[in-house]
Amino acid sequence: MLDADFFRRWMTATAASVDREADRLTALDSPIGDADHGSNLRRGFTAVTAALEKESPPTPGAVLTLAGRQLISTVGGASGPLYGTLLRRTGKALGDAAEVDEQQFAEALRAGVDAVMQLGGAAPGDKTMIDALAPAVDRLADGFGAARSAAEQGAEATTPLQARKGRASYLGERSIGHQDPGATSAALLIAALAETEGK
Partner 1 sequence: MRMLINVPETVVADALRGMAAAHPDLIVDVENRVIVRRDAPVAGKVALVSGGGSGHEPLHGGFVGPGMLSAACPGEVFTSPVPDQMARAAAAVDSGAGVLFIVKNYTGDVLNFDMAAELAEDEGIQIAKVLVNDDVAVTDSLYTAGRRGTGATLFVEKIAGAAAEEGQPLERVQALARQVNESSRSFGVALSACTTPSKGSPTFDLPAGELELGVGIHGEPGRERRPMMTSGEIADFAVQAILDDITPRNPVVVLVNGMGATPLLELYGFNAEVQRVLAQRGVVVAHTLVGNYVTSLDMAGASVTLCEVDEERLRLWNAPVKTAGLRWGV
Q: Which residues bind partner 1 (CB under 8 A)?
A: 26, 30-31, 33-36, 39-40, 43, 72-82, 119-120, 162, 164-167, 169-172, 174
Taking the complex as a whole, how short is the minimal distance between the CB of residue 12 and partner 1, in angstroms?
A: 22
Q: Which is nearer to partner 1, 161 or 191 (CB)?
A: 161
Q: At closest approach, how far in Å is the CB of 46 from partner 1?
A: 11
Q: Which residues neighbour 107 within 8 Å (Cβ) at sequence distance 6 or greater?
A: 93
Residues 116, 128 contacting (CB under 8 angstroms): no
Separation of alpha carbons 175 and 168, rounded Å: 6
Residue among 9 and 37 whose Cβ is closer to partner 1: 37
Answer whether 153's CB lies under 8 Å from 10's CB.
Answer: no
CA dist 104 and 50 (Å) reads 27
User: Cβ(131)–Cβ(154) under 8 Å?
Assistant: yes
CB of 190 to partner 1, least distance (A): 22
- Cβ 105 to partner 1, closest distance in Å? 26
State the minimum distance, in angstroms, from the CB of residue 74 to partner 1. Answer: 6
160, 197 contact by CB (below 8 A): no
Angle, CA 132 vertex, CA 178 and CA 124 arms, to 5°:
85
Decide whether 8 or 165 has the Cβ nearer to partner 1.
165
Smaller CB distance to partner 1: residue 103 or 118? Answer: 118
Judged by beta carbon, residue 104 or residue 164, the one nearer partner 1 is 164
Tally helices (H) and strands (E) across the chain. 8, 2
